[in-house]
Structure 1
Amino acid sequence: MQLVPISVDSIRIAHPLPFPLMDKDGVLIAKRGYVVPSREDLLEYSGRNGGLFIDVADSEAHHKAYVERLQTMVREDKAIGEIASTKLSLSRDVERFEEPPERLDWLDLQFQANALALESQPEYFLQRLDKLSAQLQQNCQDMADGTLFALMYLSASDSRMYSATHGMLVATMCQLAARDVLKWPQHEVDVLCRAALTMNIGMSQVQDQLALQKEPPTAAQRKIIDEHAQRSVHALERLGIDSQDWLDVVRNHHQQIPGPLSTRSPSERMTRLIQRADMFAAKLAPRASRHPIAPASAMQSCYFDENRQVDEAGAALIKAVGVYPPGTFVRLVNDETAVVVRRGANTTMPKAAVLLNRQGMPTVEHTIRDTSQREHRVASSVAYREVRVRLYLNRMLALTLPGAIPVRMAP
């Protein structure tokens, strides 16, 4: 058992604990399901026992509890400063453990993206957006496969903060296609990323509600959906955004105009790329009211335009991220089930880590398969809901790095 420290602020008072709490020596303080009556009691437990600790294997439950706490604060209309100061903290001491807290970094990015829709002060909005955009672009530069894996996995596995995750996924796909395939100048990539992150700012709360709502949209929700592009433009203008290209992309990001990119203005090219990526990501994401479609099917639907011709923007996206992007699940011809961890030289031949063996049993070790080899080719996509294996994102991200070795599953 590996212990990691957690912050008092990350625990919900008067709610059942989703994980056991321990002291620094691993002695149980409170079992799973115990209801901490007050913050004062929690501070007393922490002070008396040298801090609060959990098993690293419970970090997923800790993450979900933290997200629920943030969402409760948003619903209660707490001040932005109070929400932003709430700490997740598997604290800095976690760096001394062999498993880095990448899962927590992605939670932080999710919350940064989510907070954009709540910001009303222009100077703070632009600061938040610049920081988030720069971090996403840096992640794409340093670890493109890991960035895709994290966002694809979060889109498939967690519908909370849907609008934030969706925007980050679209921004990531678009900047990889623009930078690596279409070779657009950096200033266009910057505008593209910011437009993707803010295209739905006029309906982010409704998007989050619909991701969890089993009923069809109400008339009021439908009105917001229909008007969201213009509502987003108005919101951006109120926040001081005056870039005409940026505003035009947000205003027109649902336009479906087929044809080559070369005949379009810069904002029209960016609009088309975002439209195709937005469509793909929306089909991928689960809803309470429906299941997502297979990633390969979603990707292929953006490859052809409205006239059933090859779409230049869609083709660039597929070349950039692959038919089976990192973070998606596949079945191999040898009947193993795996998760894609790295793109391959060919868009249909990625590297994948085995999760289930031929008998459908979880593997002890996540062996990496090169699907360009005949015996390990991809046979089909597999929906996330069909893969009943618990994944730890911080462990899986290690496999997205070149030269990664198989990861042993925790007993």
Structure 2
Amino acid sequence: MNFSAHPDPAYGAMQHWMQQWSDLETQLAALLLAPQAQPDFAGRLRTLHGQARQLLELDADSTLYWLFQLAASSTVAYSASHAMVCWALCQLVADDLHLPAASRDSLALAALSMNLSMTRLQNTLAEQTTPLTDAQRAQVDTHAARSAQWLRELGVTDPLWLATVEQHHESGPDLPLPTRILQAMDRYAALISPRETRPGRCVTDSGRHAVAKAGQALDAVGHALLRTVGICPPGTFVRLADERVAVVLRRSGRPGEPWAATVLDAHDTPVVEPELIDTGEDGLGIAAALVTRSVRVRLNHPRLLQLSRVALSRH
């Protein structure tokens, strides 16, 4: 076997990309765990949002791939990873629905901070195998109002940010659009994430539960979610028509036909080199969406993100 004397710059770039997101998530986790210890909580959260927004605008598909992989594969630091996924989905859906920039930013900050008052409890519940205690249930039931109050005490004065946090578990036909976006993205992200008591649903099930209530048609938010992330978003696993398993890398503009890369052959054996697949081609379509924890494979994320960039050049 011959090894190159020089590292692949694209591979290194993808490693750097992943590290940037990991650093942002670490910063967010620290902010959420000890908000009162921060000299300027709101300012630091706005800075983090701005830095994340730059990465999202640079490559939304790679962002979705990495955040979905993190959220669906581990319960560690669940609160921060859940917030980041909700943040990304809110940004994309808000853009699709042409939410004004100021409202979009308020929604983004609400997504990052909606569970502020129960961060530690949310992390605990992600790994808890027993039912909620009465005390835990009380914290969950009141966390939206308490999180908004904490934000006020931390100096937040943005009325839309505060209202979106306070309303993100309310029901009713007249809720503002930012609140409805956050509610749908919160449900969607929660359903795909694992708990110790369940593995997380496949994305097709999650999408149906998140964007349409029983017996009701999709609303504007539901349609926007399907338009922006597709039926099987980047970072999720699918079984192809030829029985191979692939991870979705990039949206194609066709909701059910994304670009993907093979990770297991038809006998569920890991492949040595992933193959870039256009699932819109005959015989290579998606047969089923898979739950992340059901796919036993260790992914080479920088290599897969390289292939995602290749798909972009063919798009």
Whether these two folds match at TM > 0.5 is yes
Distance 1:99 1:232, change over 3 A: closer
Q: How many Å apart are 1:148 and its aligned residue?
A: 0.4
Kept in 1, the 8 Å contact 2:14–2:305? The answer is: no
Kept in 2, the 8 Å contact 1:140–1:176? The answer is: no
- Is the partner of 1:308 in helix, strand or coil? coil
Distance 1:171 1:336, change over 3 A: same
Equivalent in the alignment of 1:199: 114
1:374 and 1:274 map into 2 onto residues whose CA distance is 37
Kept in 2, the 8 Å contact 1:256–1:272? The answer is: no
Aligned length: 305
- Is the partner of 1:352 in helix, strand or coil? strand
Kept in 1, the 8 Å contact 2:56–2:88? The answer is: yes
Equivalent in the alignment of 2:262: 354
Kept in 2, the 8 Å contact 1:232–1:251? The answer is: yes
- Check if 1:171 corresponds to 2:101: no
Q: How many Å apart are 1:244 and its aligned residue?
A: 1.2
More helix by share: 2
Equivalent in the alignment of 2:69: 153
1:364 and 1:122 map into 2 onto residues whose CA distance is 46
Equivalent in the alignment of 2:4: none
- Check if 1:251 corresponds to 2:182: no
- Is the partner of 1:348 in helix, strand or coil? coil
Distance 1:402 1:131, change over 3 A: farther
Which is further off, 195-204 or 380-389? 380-389
Distance 1:97 1:278, change over 3 A: closer
2:97 and 2:248 map into 1 onto residues whose CA distance is 24
Distance 1:369 1:403, change over 3 A: closer
Amino acid at match of 1:246: W
Distance 1:188 1:99, change over 3 A: closer
Equivalent in the alignment of 1:143: 59
Distance 1:246 1:370, change over 3 A: same
Kept in 1, the 8 Å contact 2:276–2:311? The answer is: no
1:403 and 1:96 map into 2 onto residues whose CA distance is 15
Per-residue CA deviation, residues 336-365 of structure 1 (Å, 9 max, x unaligned), is 100000011111111010001122221111
- Is the partner of 1:362 in helix, strand or coil? coil
Distance 1:113 1:338, change over 3 A: same
2:186 to 274, 278, 282: 278
1:392 to 283, 294, 300: 300
2:204 to 296, 311, 334: 296
Equivalent in the alignment of 2:78: 162
TM-score normalised per structure 2: 0.91
Per-residue CA deviation, residues 139-176 of structure 1 (Å, 9 max, x unaligned), is 22111001101110001112111010111101100110
1:186 and 1:229 map into 2 onto residues whose CA distance is 24
**Which is greater in Rg?**
1
Note the aligned Cα RMSD (angstroms). Answer: 2.2
1:248 and 1:97 map into 2 onto residues whose CA distance is 42
Higher normalized contact order (CA 8 Å, seq sep 6+, divided by chain length): 2
1:359-378 to structure 2, matched below 5 A, reads 359-378=267-286
1:322 to 203, 224, 230: 230
Between the aligned residues of both structures, percent identity stands at 36
Equivalent in the alignment of 2:291: 383
1:120 to 33, 36, 40: 36
TM-score normalised per structure 1: 0.70
2:88 and 2:11 map into 1 onto residues whose CA distance is 30
Q: How many Å apart are 1:396 and its aligned residue?
A: 2.6
